[in-house]
Structure 1
Amino acid sequence: MIGVIVCMHGNSALELVKSAEMICGKQENCYAVNFTMGESLDELSEQLTNKIELLSQPLICLTDLKGGTPFNTLVNLKKQYSNIEIVAGVNMPMLLELFVSREQMAMPELLETIIEAGTAGVYQYVTEKIVDEDEEF
């Protein structure tokens, strides 16, 4: 099974994983790593290294923001751990798709699928305006 690390600013990683588990059930081979206010880069790197070492390889690391500290730290760790994939912009649809598909798909297909799910999950609801035929323009 492909391992999963979700690393985000604040407590978002833990809360996102917990919310997804409400829908998909408890996940094995998955860790949330929060990057909290005042935490050093070395501390974050150590946390991530510990989790990477605990998980089976290959693994997918999801972050909140391209160019943010969690993303940049994982990019640096990828030099050491070549079997990790990093995807920024995580959202609930992406994580849910990853949880339900990671046992059935190979890495290239899985990456494409979760990115599509994340993109498709962004949606704006717009109320349709009902036009009155008697209304003049």
Structure 2
Amino acid sequence: MIGILLVTHGGFADGLKSAVELIAGKQEQFQTVGLYYGDSMEKFTDKILETINNLNCDKGVLVFVDILGGSPSNVILKLLKDNNFKAIAGVNMPMVCHAVLSRKSDIELEELFKDCLLVGKDALISLNNVFSDMQEDIKNDF
């Protein structure tokens, strides 16, 4: 099974994991690492690397970070040099749900990585447009 790691500022990763597990159920090989005020970058980096190594059982690890350019993504970028995992910045709930629900199949890490990028992009929807379309449908029904 592909391991999944959420790395974010503060408790965002824990909250996202909790929300995903509310939908998908309790997950194995699914961990979080948060960066908190006062954390040393060395210990943060060590914790991420240790968690990646623990999650990497047989099919690899997919890492999600909150925002490109932040400390979590900068650490992941440095770790990519000497480690074999895939990483995505700009995590959202649909992509993580897709990852946890799809990784139990025979999907390979590279395919799951690409799928999650597409799912994450497709999940961005203007609710204002949805509302306007709904209003238009109501007018057309009467």
1:68, CA displacement in angstroms? 1.1
Residue 63 of structure 1 pairs with residue 70 of structure 2: no
Rounded Cα–Cα distance in structure 1 between residues aligned with 2:81 and 2:124: 32
CA deviations over 1:1-54 (Å, ceiling 9, x no partner) = 111110001100011011100000111011110111121211210110120121
Corresponding residue to 2:80 among 78, 81, 103: 78
Secondary structure of the corresponding residue to residue 74 of structure 1: helix
Amino acid at match of 2:3: G
Shift of 1:108: 2.1
Distance 1:33 1:13 in 2: 7
Q: 2: CA distance between counterparts of 1:34 and 1:108?
A: 25
What runs of 5+ residues in structure 1 fail to find an aligned partner? 133-137
Q: Which amino acid aligns with 1:100?
A: L
Structure 1 match to 2:104? 103
* 3-state SS, counterpart of residue 17 of structure 1: helix
Task: Report the TM-score, using the length of structure 2 for normalisation.
Answer: 0.85
- Pairing 1:22-37 to 2, within 5 Å after superposition: 22-37=22-37
Query: How many pairs does the alignment contain?
Result: 130
Counterpart for residue 89 of structure 1:
90
Deviation at 1:123, TM superposition (A): 1.0
User: Which has more radius of gyration?
Assistant: 1
RMSD, aligned CA:
1.5
Comparing 120-129 with 105-114, greater Cα deviation is found at 120-129
Q: Quote how far apart the aligned CAs of 1:80 are.
A: 2.4
Question: In 2, distance between residues paired with 1:125 and 1:31?
Answer: 31
TM-score by structure 1 length? 0.88
Deviation >6 Å, runs of 4+ = none
Between 121-130 and 52-61, the greater mean CA deviation after superposition: 121-130
What is the CA–CA distance in structure 1 between the aligned matches of 2:51 and 2:4, rounded to whole Å?
A: 10
Q: For each residue in 1:62-117, what CA deviation from the matched residue of structure 2 results, as whole angstroms up to 9, or x when unmatched? A: 00111211111011112221x21110000000100000111221122211111111
5+ residue gaps in structure 2?
none
* Alignment partner, residue 135 of structure 1: none
Name whichever structure is richer in helix by fraction.
Answer: 2
Q: 1:125 is matched with which residue?
A: 127
Are residue 3 (structure 1) and residue 19 (structure 2) matched? no
